[in-house]
Amino acid sequence: PTPVAYLLGHREFYSLNFMTTPAALVPRPETELLVDLSLQLCAHLDHPRVLEMGTGSGAISVALLKQRVGIDLLTTDISADCLNLARQNADMHDVRLNCIESNWYQNLHGQTPFDLIISNPPYIAAEDPCLCRGDLPAEPSLALTPGQSGLEAIEKIVRGAGEYLRKGGFIMFEHGHDQAPPSRELLEQSGFQSIRNIHDYNNLPRVSYAQLP
Ligand code: GLN
What does the DSSP 8-state code read for residue 148?
A: S
| Residue of 13, 26, 28, 175 to mutate, ligand 1, most atoms within 8 A of C-beta | 28
Count of other CB atoms within 10 angstroms of residue 103 = 12
Specify which residues 12 forms β-bridges with.
17
Sign of CA dihedral 36, 37, 43, 46: negative
51, burial (CB in 10 Å: exposed 0-12, middle 13-18, buried 19+): buried
- Say how many Å lie between the CA of residue 176 and the centre of ligand 1: 7
Quote the pTM value: 0.97
Other residues' Cβ atoms within 10 Å of the Cβ of residue 20: 25
Question: How high is the pLDDT of residue 1?
Answer: 82
Residue 205 Cα, ligand 1 centroid: separation in angstroms? Answer: 13
Ligand 1: list residues with CB < 6 Å.
25, 28, 120, 122-124, 136, 144, 174
Give the ranges where the chain is alpha helix by DSSP (H).
4-8, 32-42, 59-67, 80-92, 141-144, 152-161, 180-189
pLDDT digits (tens, 9 = 90+) for 109-128: 999 999 999 999 999 999 99
Specify the residue with its C-alpha closest to ligand 1, atom 6. Answer: 144
What letter represents residue 160's amino acid? Answer: G
Query: Closest ligand 1 atom, CA of 174?
Result: 9
How many angstroms is it from 154 CA to the middle of ligand 1? 13
Residues 6+ apart with CB under 8 A from 134: none
Ligand 1 centre distance from Cα of residue 122 (Å): 7
User: Residue 48: helix, strand or coil by DSSP?
Assistant: coil
Q: pLDDT tens digits for the chain (213 residues)? A: 899 999 999 999 999 999 999 999 999 999 999 999 999 999 999 999 999 999 999 999 999 999 999 999 999 999 999 999 999 999 999 999 999 999 999 999 999 999 999 999 999 999 999 999 999 999 999 999 999 999 999 999 999 999 999 999 999 999 999 999 999 999 999 999 999 999 999 999 999 999 999
51 C-alpha to ligand 1 centroid (Å): 20
Instruction: Give the residue, by CA position, lying nearest to ligand 1 atom 10.
Output: 136
